[in-house]
Chains A and B, each alone.
Chain A
Amino acid sequence: GDSVTQMEGPVTLSEEAFLTINCTYTATGYPSLFWYVQYPGEGLQLLLKATKADDKGSNKGFEATYRKETTSFHLEKGSVQVSDSAVYFCALTPNTGNQFYFGTGTSLTVIP
């Protein structure tokens, strides 16, 4: 069945460091891919998405490219800030059906 695997955390970085959080997926056809962010005590918010192969989603300095050949959607940011400290979830939804599949989440802490 469809699933998402993302790197386990927690991840701790210094401010202005480069961030990569790996995400790979298993799905039939051409799913849509998402990154959601959850700040402490809050619900999930959409960070970025990509709906077809080679699409690049971007928002707030974060980027992820839909790689069909490697079934990946890695999240990157060139220079993290303390305010980026949160839990990041990779997710997919198949091109048919109503369900979303989430990874287990990666906790990021950025220290000054």
Chain B
Amino acid sequence: NAGVTQTPKFQVLKTGQSMTLQCAQDMNHNSMYWYRQDPGMGLRLIYYSASEGTTDKGEVPNGYNVSRLNKREFSLRLESAAPSQTSVYFCASSVQGIGKETQYFGPGTRLLVL
């Protein structure tokens, strides 16, 4: 049972390049989330998916798109990367999005945009 896995672990992009961050969970969780973590800002929610087939914007969705490919996988895409998107990105999942369940986090993807 690997939990939540993320790829890649590190990435360097040039401004304007695109990339997709991959996330998968093997815990049969309904809900999945993408956060970014910046110094002094804590974690900020980018997008979440309460269940397969649904996605919703979080606090900071601009410049990102997501796809809930199936129950296991939730990807985050940067269409045209900007230096302001330099951050550490975490994927998380939970059993149900009903407000009382623990979130399980992946190890993170460290992204540098030059």
- Which residues of A are at the interface with B, using a C-beta cutoff of 8 A? 31-32, 34, 36, 41-46, 49, 51, 89, 93-100, 102-105
CB pair B100–A93 under 8 Å, yes or no, is yes
CB pair B45–A99 under 8 Å, yes or no, is yes
The answer, yes or no, to whether B12 is at the interface (CB within 8 Å) is: no
Q: Tally chain B residues at the interface, Cβ within 8 Å.
A: 28
Q: Given known contacts A98-B31, A100-B45, A105-B42, is B105 in contact with A45 (CB within 8 Å)?
A: yes
Contact with A along B27-38 (1 / 0, CB 8 A): 000010101000
CB pair B107–A46 under 8 Å, yes or no, is no
Contact with A along B46-60 (1 / 0, CB 8 A): 001010000010100
The answer, yes or no, to whether B102 is at the interface (CB within 8 Å) is: yes
Knowing that A43-B107, A96-B99, A97-B99 are A-B contacts, what are 20 other residue pairs whose CB atoms are under 8 Å apart, sorted by A's residue number?
A: A31-B99, A32-B99, A41-B107, A42-B108, A44-B43, A44-B92, A45-B105, A46-B102, A46-B104, A93-B99, A93-B101, A94-B99, A95-B100, A98-B31, A98-B50, A98-B99, A99-B45, A99-B58, A102-B42, A104-B40
